[in-house]
Structure 1
């Protein structure tokens, strides 16, 4: 049992990766649509590339969006308008008319005229309320059908033109008076009816909308059907509009079929295989080309988490409304991976993610083409993410690629730009703006996963930081040495394409352990007194070597990232404190060399190897007397070659060619430091 537990402990990293792989696979499969996938790819206006297609079962031909929209518009245009009738209004107006008429027209009028006027008034009221009077103005068509409701019961039907509107009252009065040769009483009648007429119709908006919705719900979503065995399309035939709609109907019917338990399980199994293969490719890439990432479970978890997060967000958007899929800022993924790792890993993970999203999104080929293209642009354009201008420029380029690619696809599908959906461009712009969220996201990831990006490195490179200020106060010589090493290391990193920002920060902090005993290091001995004179060689070596361990402790105390602490650990590798070793050897023949060696480890990256070379060269350059170009060249060659002979760079992925380039930079920089001129022949 104990052996089994020990075996589990030894392989816990591998077991964790396996569990992470399995969990991520099943979580992604859980998000996938649980239906069969139509096996044919087709585009409108393009030849059918597959074999002759016969209808595998009976299915209905669905109407396309344009047809449904047209039908809905026709129904809306011909919909019935409903009005509520208040029958008491006409009675009230008739009674008021009799009373007001007597007040307005005195008995002095001839009886015949008086009676005629009264009779005309009654006729006008009757005409007003044949259908009814509407109090508000509505922008309905005059030919629209109407239904008059009294107590929610249909009383009469007609057209909207038959309803009396406010602006039609005066013309009706004039027409009736003119008919009976009483036009001279127009002013009196208009004044009388202006206060008298009341609207008896009210537009019933809710009832009208409900009736319209019922009519819309009755729209048939299909037009005709295709029987099993019917020829749908032959190889080489062009997919015209009619065939395209039939194929889309077949695809929709196929993917929406009710699957039996056996079919369902097979579909899940097949999805699981495909997702597992995709994630396995990512694992293999990390294991072969990014070994340091693969061996760090936190970084592997971070990568898988981000891939799953993008798939999860896209699934939510597709389930809500698939037209918003381009709002999801997929290009955040390569940006994040490039910020924390490198461009190649970012591109590989982005492609894997987009391939997986192809199972979820509609028009998967078009979607994948756009997203992979945008990912390539992201990787190629974004450099030095900590510079805000670079991010804005990159977002603009990503948005432009989306817009241009979508425009090209639309023209290919439709053959014109007349009905192009301009709102898609808004989604692309929103996606670009959402990509700007990468900055706060990087900060959050740094805190959650303990990673470090170039943005954090820029902050750490500030020489006004608390730790570097303390170093400059306690060990000014070491601080000055660190600045010189940082400049040499940054120039060397730029020369071979390494991470210049990382190596600069590592150089600034690599000797912070010397703050504990600053006077034991020659660069800080300003009084001429050397405390090593009172110590044995072994004790002196122990103090010198301990600055590495002390530096690690101080770095952890100040919460420096592990990537920076790696420079403190490795900047001397397993080299020997040569001066004290040789001094001890003079006194004692049998010397244990291990007592005079740094604990290591050796540099394991280009950046840590660069720091080791620059640190040794800069420190030793202080002993050069009357330096010349020839002396400096030989000096740099001897120091670096000695480190190569000791095998200090065996674990670092650095080539001899890159080492030669670094030597060249160091020679040039040291020549500038000592202000050497070209040695002209006499």
Structure 2
């Protein structure tokens, strides 16, 4: 195992170089491309026109059949008849025309009668004789003068004369009959070839009236004159209707997965064209699927690059990148192996894939964000690898199944950080798998037999269990090989039954209590600034393990005994106190504790000065070097260690105070943080001043909660004074 760890360390050192990181991304992309190459490679068939197909051929893509679409559109256009519209206003126009003719006659008669009544010969016999010839001519002339040439040219003089000579009552009846007849006939469609029939209908309506023969003949002529064509060809409406018919034709498509030719079928000219459209006969477009696959992989790799580029410290980032890559490649190879069984025409083989394995491992070993990302890219890869033997197609159903399965495992482990919960997560994933498969079957309205339902549900259940088993089996290799301190490992280390924690509890109970108090302070502060609170808590449990070598030399363990430092020289006391950091780190290393826990024990005091013994040495008349009374370090390298170091000092200082008030606690916390800053103890970690303010506020809140029962308020003090 040590040899494996050294190999991993060497690889991680190489990944610190940008060139090797880029090379790893290229390898990851190349593995993806090679694994999916055969699934996107277009199938080329050696078929000729009028040959017999030796296999059933399906379309690998969805493509428009433009020739058939154009033919169907033309058929729809040809079925559209010309559009003719009726000019309804023509009816009123012709009625108005007839009315105006009768009105003109009536007006002229009225004018002439008025003029005649005013003349000198009004009562003479000569005037009466003139009324039958000259006056009629005069009236005819005046009536024509009131009308347009279009009317006067078409209507005969006999018609006008008959109207002029008609009795006013007969003229009114003739007008009503003519207007009614024209309106009735013109209300119907009158195409160009139906005008004569319409004129005959008017004539039929007027010929059986009881009017004088001359007047009857006149109104028949007027009726025939008034009836005209009112239905005309409308090119715009016709074109619009043809366009609607064309647009209403659905595009003819050859669908992805659609059977183009059945086995043993003759390749007709139409089928040959369909094969050509589907790209099964054309080698010119064979590079397109590979370009598309390369572009998709490029997007995935770029996304992965930016995600890791935004992550934390270099060492952890490279380790996490390598873990992510190994897990993803492993999952991809399992998927590729299973996809080979699609040749046995079992389309649901993708349900066997342990889809939750990769995301659960990433969730435990790295973080939730990358776990979700892996679930998504595994789903995308699965949609290509499990394409049911149809090259270039995407199996969206399997993609949904893989993503849902992966997310289910991540969600279950979100708050479940114990190793024993992985198997429960597998059962939960199995239940989700069953639910998803049933939902997809109902969604597609698929018709499965009882046996097919049972097989699909069984393999979906096994997929979840297999995911959990593989996760449990692979997790120790990653933890040991990469030295990964996972959340589950931290939970296990926090168990009070751990041998080292029991050692502290039995040999140095005061130190154990102090460690728990520091853990409470550090965890809250770390979570307040977004650092790893669980790591801080567990690290605090072990940070003073070195004190178990000489527990009585530390004040928290000196219960009812004298302080041995009172009889020792300052330099000796200093050596004993300082040794607990190095001794603790050494003990943790011997017990194969994670590096992060060892670093906390070794660095939590940094290079701080043991002020008490330094000043004691000065008081003894010596001239000690300040460097001789400092911890060997190194200084805190992470936010968590820096916060633990401050919390350690704060807890010890507050515990030594008698009945601390809120103000005293706040002042003490600020002084300790300020002292650490001025002493340069925080220079090697990336904690900011703003974060330090947040840490100080968190310490104060936690300490107020711990020591509130010991705080005496002014009112309580006054009552005690009075009682005394």
**TM-score normalised by the shorter chain: which range applies?**
0.5 to 0.7
Query: Contact conserved, 1:34 with 1:267, CA < 8 A, in 2?
Result: no
- Quick check: 1:323 aligned with 2:332? no
Stretch moving more, 309-318 or 571-580: 571-580
Structure 2 SS opposite 1:471: helix
- Alpha-carbon distance in structure 2 between the residues aligned to 1:319 and 1:621: 67
2:414 is aligned, of 375, 380, 383, to: 383
| Aligned-pair CA distance for 1:558 | 0.8
Which residue number in structure 2 is paired with residue 530 of structure 1? 564
Stretch moving more, 603-612 or 416-425: 416-425
Structure 1 SS opposite 2:37: coil
Deviation string 1:361-416 (CA, Å, 9 cap, x unpaired) is: 323434334433444444344234344785566546544554555555545544x7
Which residue number in structure 2 is paired with residue 44 of structure 1? none
Query: Contact conserved, 2:409 with 2:425, CA < 8 A, in 1?
Result: yes
Which residue number in structure 2 is paired with residue 13 of structure 1? 16
Which residue number in structure 1 is paired with residue 665 of structure 2? 632
- Alpha-carbon distance in structure 2 between the residues aligned to 1:532 and 1:251: 98
Q: Which has the larger radius of gyration?
A: 2
Query: Contact conserved, 2:515 with 2:541, CA < 8 A, in 1?
Result: yes
Closer/same/farther in 2, CA of residues 482 and 35 from structure 1, 3 Å limit: closer
Which residue number in structure 2 is paired with residue 291 of structure 1? 313
Q: TM-score, with normalisation over the residues of structure 2?
A: 0.57
- Alpha-carbon distance in structure 1 between the residues aligned to 2:281 and 2:617: 86
Which residue number in structure 1 is paired with residue 488 of structure 2? 455
Structure 2 SS opposite 1:32: helix
- Alpha-carbon distance in structure 2 between the residues aligned to 1:236 and 1:432: 48
Query: Contact conserved, 1:286 with 1:294, CA < 8 A, in 2?
Result: no
| Aligned-pair CA distance for 1:310 | 0.5
1:24 is aligned, of 10, 25, 28, to: 28
Deviation string 1:594-635 (CA, Å, 9 cap, x unpaired) is: 443334444444533442232222222232123334433433
- Alpha-carbon distance in structure 2 between the residues aligned to 1:277 and 1:622: 56
Which residue number in structure 2 is paired with residue 367 of structure 1? 398
1:424 is aligned, of 451, 456, 464, to: 456
**Where do residues 461-500 of structure 1 align in structure 2 (5 Å cutoff)?**
461-490=494-523, 492=525, 499-500=532-533
1:513 is aligned, of 546, 554, 574, to: 546
Stretch moving more, 323-332 or 607-616: 607-616
Which residue number in structure 1 is paired with residue 96 of structure 2? none
Deviation string 1:458-492 (CA, Å, 9 cap, x unpaired) is: 33223333333333454443233223323444455
1:221 is aligned, of 33, 46, 56, to: 56
| Aligned-pair CA distance for 1:29 | 2.9
| Aligned-pair CA distance for 1:323 | 1.7
Closer/same/farther in 2, CA of residues 594 and 268 from structure 1, 3 Å limit: farther
Q: 1 or 2, which has the higher helix percentage? A: 2
Query: Contact conserved, 2:546 with 2:580, CA < 8 A, in 1?
Result: yes
- Alpha-carbon distance in structure 2 between the residues aligned to 1:341 and 1:607: 17
Which residue number in structure 2 is paired with residue 281 of structure 1? 303
Deviation string 1:182-237 (CA, Å, 9 cap, x unpaired) is: xxxxxxxxxxxxxxxxxxxxxxxxxxxxxxxxxxxx9963599x999874668997
**Where do residues 4-403 of structure 1 align in structure 2 (5 Å cutoff)?**
13-14=16-17, 16-34=20-38, 36=40, 221=56, 231=67, 243=255, 246=258, 271=293, 274-275=296-297, 278-292=300-314, 294-297=316-319, 299-321=320-342, 322-362=347-387, 363-387=394-418, 391=422, 394-395=425-426, 398-399=429-430, 401-403=432-434
Q: TM-score, with normalisation over the residues of structure 1?
A: 0.60
Structure 2 SS opposite 1:451: coil
Q: What is the aligned residue count? A: 498
| Aligned-pair CA distance for 1:495 | 6.0
| Aligned-pair CA distance for 1:308 | 0.2
